[in-house]
């Protein structure tokens, strides 16, 4: 990606414009970083609050009324709702894969599409998650499959 910075004295705040021929995952990620969508998330574990870097989160999952982030083999309780996190992480490396899960595709090692109508994501650090049939078409489109 080509980057250019121009100084404009008197400008109230920084402004970024991305020129592109098509919207690619690289363009979406750059836009999300510039928009500040990658700010840290507060997660609770064992009575302590941790500031989580979204890039380190493998999977965000909802279980009952609780939302958890899986990050470096640990599970952190998040205060935000899943739909709020989906909006906050939109346009970046995250994608909704089921009614109760959002996956970080930077951590996806491979996709197993041998079962008809579903996709099983395998993560680099172990574990996995299934893409529900409802979201398979969106994931395939996003990945260019």
Sequential pLDDT tens for the chain (145 residues): 777 788 888 887 777 888 888 888 777 777 766 766 557 889 999 999 999 988 888 999 999 899 999 988 899 999 989 888 888 877 668 889 999 999 998 888 998 887 777 888 999 888 888 998 888 888 888 888 8
Q: Is the residue at 14 inside a domain?
A: no
Residue 63 neighbours by CB under 8 Å, 6+ apart: 100
Q: Answer whether residue 1 is part of any domain.
A: no
pLDDT of residue 140: 84
The answer to whether residue 2 is domain-embedded is: no
Asked whether residue 11 is domain-assigned, the answer is no
CB 50 within 8 A of CB 76: yes
In 33-118, the DSSP E strands lie at: 41-45, 48-52, 57-63, 66-71, 74-78, 94-98, 101-104, 108-112
Q: Which residues contact 144 (CB under 8 A, 6 or more apart)?
A: none
What angle (nearest 5°) sits at the alpha carbon of residue 27, between those of residues 132 and 119? 15
pLDDT of 36: 60
What does 8-57 look like in DSSP terms, one character per residue?
-TT-SS-------SS--HHHHHHHHHHHTTT--EEEEETTEEEEE-GGGE
On whether residue 73 sits in a domain, the answer given is: yes
CATH number at residue 99: 2.40.50.1020
Number of domains in the chain: 1
Look up the domain containing 131 and give its range: 25-143
Q: Is residue 89 part of a domain?
A: yes
């Amino acid at each position: 990606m080509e980057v250019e910075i121009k100084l404009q004295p008197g400008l109230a705040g920084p402004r970024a414009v991305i020129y592109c021929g098509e919207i690619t995952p690289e363009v979406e990620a750059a836009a999300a970083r510039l928009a500040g969508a990658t700010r840290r998330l507060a997660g609770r574990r064992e009575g302590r609050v941790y500031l989580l870097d979204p890039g380190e989160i493998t999977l965000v999952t909802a279980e009952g009324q609780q939302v958890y982030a899986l990050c470096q083999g640990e599970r952190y309780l998040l205060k935000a709702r899943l739909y709020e996190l989906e909006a906050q992480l939109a346009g970046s490396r995250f994608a909704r894969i089921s009614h109760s899960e959002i996956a970080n595709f930077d951590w996806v090692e491979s996709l197993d599409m041998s079962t008809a109508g579903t996709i099983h994501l395998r993560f680099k650090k172990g574990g996995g998650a299934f893409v529900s049939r409802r979201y398979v078409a969106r994931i395939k489109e996003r990945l260019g499959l």
